């Protein structure tokens, strides 16, 4: 369902992604791990075209975009195939929790307001925030904000939800409630690509783990293989460090 | 001291009859200026080819020359070159002149407010499939409005006072009335004190409205 081939991204003479190939099946949970600064977030941002890739093709669902040959209409179509959960939540500051979730339904999918609000209320209840629907982001805790962020992404009608270190900016006390919502999503077979340093989560939830280093995919496979019998010495070294921390 | 208190008091009802014209100029002028300023600011932020260059020259001219010169150019100068402008009345010329002049300043403060909205707000809008224009309209501009509103109110206040220049085009507004009363009674001090008080009170009223507007715009940011 998702196909990425030969994807690269260079920021003014500084190559960050160096030829990435991978694919994701419908309903698959993919977790991307690796040291900081190895291009994990950039890869995720390229999938949503928040960064413009230098070369390569990205296909999500029926939309295929080739770097350098994409019209703005194609880019918007590609973005509509996925939604994004940001490390810093990035909730719309001028909208309530409910309006944050409903915004895409109304503006992008042109749903009538009442219908969009009703759908959004159900989604907010799924992430346990029905009672916070009319609060503004500034009035919510970090964990609540991130759950609204996930609810907004769930409402977006994309094929896949992309999570960019969704718990890294959270105080430790809020991490579990966000991970719980993500696990619940995973059980419902929502296709997800997650960049995270939460190794326990990766091991428990992922169908496939991708280990990235230096702009390359070093190794990918099911969690048992990556964690118990890594093929690459670099994977082994990284995991040894990560599990210790 | 020789101050005719009664005369000053009696002047207020006479001046207030012309306050409507003053306020019409200011309000119509401000609405047009605001629409223009938002459009110019968006053009500048997105660096729309051609329009961006036009906007830069526009802003440079209207900030770089005095309002009085612009009003004279528009009302007395342009009709000599473009005869179809001969029918332009003084009131409309004043409104157009004020709108163009203030839109140049307001565009820059709106642009600054837009640039002050966190980048993540645009990214989040795009990530759920909005176009840049939708994001601008639904998410960025409403947030920029909150940041820009104090400085926009500054320009509005300035604009109310600048309508007094319209008397040089022959518009019958409060300043022209005060001037007329002064020259016929020779009570210059009383006349101009009276007109100064009218402007001041109007500005104080709008400052209060601004205060309420700010509370309204801040409601999403109160913990």
- Give the ipTM: 0.92
Q: Which chain B residues have a beta carbon less than 8 Å from that of A107?
A: 130, 134, 138
Q: Which pTM value belongs to this model?
A: 0.88
Selected residue of A49, A94, A166 to mutate for chain B interface (largest B Cβ count, 10 A): A94
DSSP character string of chain A: -EEEEEEEEEETTEEEEEEEEEEE-TT-EEEEE--TTSSHHHHHHHHTTSS--SEEEEEETTEEEETT---HHHHHHHHHTEEEE-TT----TTS-HHHHHHHHHHHTS---HHHHHHHHHHHHHHTT-GGGTT--GGGS-HHHHHHHHHHHHHHT--SEEEEESTTTTS-HHHHHHHHHHHHHHHHTT-EEEEE-S-HHHHHHH-SEEEEEETTEEEEEE-HHHHHHS-SSHHHHHHHHHHHH-
Q: Which residues contact B100 (CB under 8 A, 6 or more apart)?
A: B33, B36, B62, B70
pLDDT of residue B104: 97
8 Å CB contact between A132 and A156: no
8 Å CB contact between A124 and A103: no
Distance from CA of B128 to the nearest CA of A (A): 5
Interface of B with A (CB under 8 A): 118, 120-121, 123-131, 134, 138-139, 142-143, 146, 219-223
Distance from CA of B132 to the nearest CA of A (A): 9
- Contact between chains at A92 and B121 (C-beta distance less than 8 A): yes
Q: Residue A245 — pLDDT band, cuts 50, 70, 90? A: low
For chain B, percent of residues with pLDDT exceeding 70: 100
- Give the tens place of pLDDT for each residue, A197-243: 999 999 999 999 999 999 999 999 999 999 999 999 999 999 988 88
User: Rounded distance, CA A32 to CA A75, Å?
Assistant: 24
8 Å CB contact between A98 and A121: yes
- Contact between chains at A103 and B128 (C-beta distance less than 8 A): yes
- Give the tens place of pLDDT for each residue, B80-103: 999 888 889 999 999 999 999 999
Q: Which chain B residues have a beta carbon less than 8 Å from that of A83?
A: 127-129
pLDDT of residue A85: 97
DSSP B105: H
Q: Which chain B residues have a beta carbon less than 8 Å from that of A50?
A: 123, 126-127
Taking all residues of chain B, what is their mean pLDDT, rounded to a whole number?
94
pLDDT of residue B116: 95
8 Å CB contact between B194 and B185: no
Interface of A with B (CB under 8 A): 48-50, 72, 76, 79-80, 82-84, 86, 88, 90-96, 103-104, 107-108, 136-139, 152-153, 155-156, 158
Q: Across the A/B interface, how many CB contacts are shorter than 8 Å?
A: 82
Q: Residue A17 — pLDDT band, cuts 50, 70, 90? A: very high
Nearest neighbour of B143 by CB, restricted to A90, A94, A108: A94
As given in the structure block, the two tokens for residue B113 are 């407010």
Taking all residues of chain A, what is their mean pLDDT, rounded to a whole number?
94
- Contact between chains at A138 and B222 (C-beta distance less than 8 A): yes
Q: Which residue of B has its CA nearest to A157?
A: B128
Q: Which residue of B has its CA nearest to A101?
A: B128
Q: Which residue of A has its CA nearest to B118?
A: A90
Nearest neighbour of B128 by CB, restricted to A49, A138, A156: A156
Q: Which chain B residues have a beta carbon less than 8 Å from that of A138?
A: 220-223
Closest Cα to residue A51, out of B123, B17, B78?
A: B123
- Contact between chains at A80 and B129 (C-beta distance less than 8 A): yes
pLDDT of residue A64: 94
User: Rounded distance, CA B93 to CA A69, Å?
Assistant: 49
- Contact between chains at B129 and A88 (C-beta distance less than 8 A): no
8 Å CB contact between A86 and A48: no
Strand partners, A55: A8
Nearest neighbour of A138 by CB, restricted to B130, B143, B223: B223
Q: Which chain B residues have a beta carbon less than 8 Å from that of A96?
A: 220
Q: Which chain A residues have a beta carbon less than 8 Å from that of B127?
A: 48, 50, 79, 82-84, 86, 153, 156
Mean pLDDT in residue range A34-58 = 94
Mean pLDDT in residue range A32-39 = 92
Tens of each residue's pLDDT in chain B, 223 residues = 788 889 988 899 999 999 999 999 999 999 999 999 999 999 999 999 999 999 999 999 999 999 999 999 999 999 999 988 888 999 999 999 999 999 999 999 999 999 999 999 999 999 999 999 999 999 999 999 999 999 999 999 999 999 999 999 999 999 999 999 989 989 889 899 999 999 999 999 999 999 999 999 888 888 7
Distance from CA of A139 to the nearest CA of B (A): 5
What three-state secondary structure class fits B23? Answer: helix
Selected residue of A107, A144, A164 to mutate for chain B interface (largest B Cβ count, 10 A): A107
8 Å CB contact between B144 and B121: no
pLDDT of residue B204: 95
User: Rounded distance, CA A90 to CA A74, Å?
Assistant: 24
């Amino acid at each position: 369902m998702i196909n990425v081939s030969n994807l690269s991204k260079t920021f003014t003479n500084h190559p960050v992604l160096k030829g990435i190939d991978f694919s994701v099946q419908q309903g698959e949970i993919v977790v991307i791990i690796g040291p900081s600064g190895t291009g994990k977030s950039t890869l995720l941002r390229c999938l949503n075209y928040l960064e413009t890739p230098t070369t390569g093709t990205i296909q999500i669902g029926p939309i295929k975009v080739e770097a350098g040959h994409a019209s703005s209409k194609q880019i918007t179509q590609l973005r509509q195939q996925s939604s994004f959960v940001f490390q810093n939540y990035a909730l719309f500051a001028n909208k309530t929790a409910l309006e944050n979730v409903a915004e895409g339904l109304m503006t992008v999918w042109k749903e009538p307001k009442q219908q969009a609000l009703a759908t959004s209320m159900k989604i907010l209840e799924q992430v346990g925030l029905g009672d916070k629907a009319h609060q503004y982001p500034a009035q919510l805790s970090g964990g609540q904000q991130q759950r609204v962020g996930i609810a907004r992404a769930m409402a977006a009608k994309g094929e896949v939800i992309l999570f960019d270190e969704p718990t890294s900016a959270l105080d430790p006390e809020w991490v579990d409630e966000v991970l719980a919502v993500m696990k619940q999503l995973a059980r419902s077979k929502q296709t997800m690509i997650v960049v995270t340093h939460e190794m326990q989560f990766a091991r428990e939830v992922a169908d496939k783990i991708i280990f990235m280093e230096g702009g390359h995919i070093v190794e990918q496979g099911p969690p048992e293989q990556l964690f118990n019998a890594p093929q690459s010495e670099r994977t082994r070294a990284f995991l040894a460090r990560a599990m210790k921390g | 001291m020789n101050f005719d208190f009664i005369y000053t008091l009696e002047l207020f009802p006479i001046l207030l009859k012309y306050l409507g014209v003053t306020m019409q100029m200011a309000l119509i002028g401000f609405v047009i200026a605001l629409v223009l300023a938002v459009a110019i600011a968006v053009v500048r932020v997105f660096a729309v080819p051609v329009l961006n260059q036009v906007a830069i020259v526009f802003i440079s001219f209207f900030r770089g020359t005095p309002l009085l010169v612009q009003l004279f150019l528009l009302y007395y100068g342009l009709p000599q070159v473009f005869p179809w402008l001969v029918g332009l009345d003084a009131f409309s010329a004043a409104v157009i002149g004020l709108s163009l002049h203030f839109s140049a300043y307001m565009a820059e403060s709106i642009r600054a407010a837009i640039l002050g909205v966190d980048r993540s707000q645009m990214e989040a809008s795009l990530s759920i499939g909005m176009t840049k224009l939708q994001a601008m309209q639904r998410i960025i501009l409403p947030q920029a409005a909150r940041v820009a509103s104090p400085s926009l109110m500054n320009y509005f206040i300035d604009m109310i006072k600048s309508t007094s220049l319209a008397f040089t085009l022959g518009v019958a507004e409060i300043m022209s009335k005060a001037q007329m009363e002064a020259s016929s009674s020779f009570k210059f001090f009383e006349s101009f004190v009276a007109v100064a008080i009218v402007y001041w009170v109007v500005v104080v009223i709008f400052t209060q409205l601004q205060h309420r507007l700010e509370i309204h715009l801040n409601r999403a940011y109160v913990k």
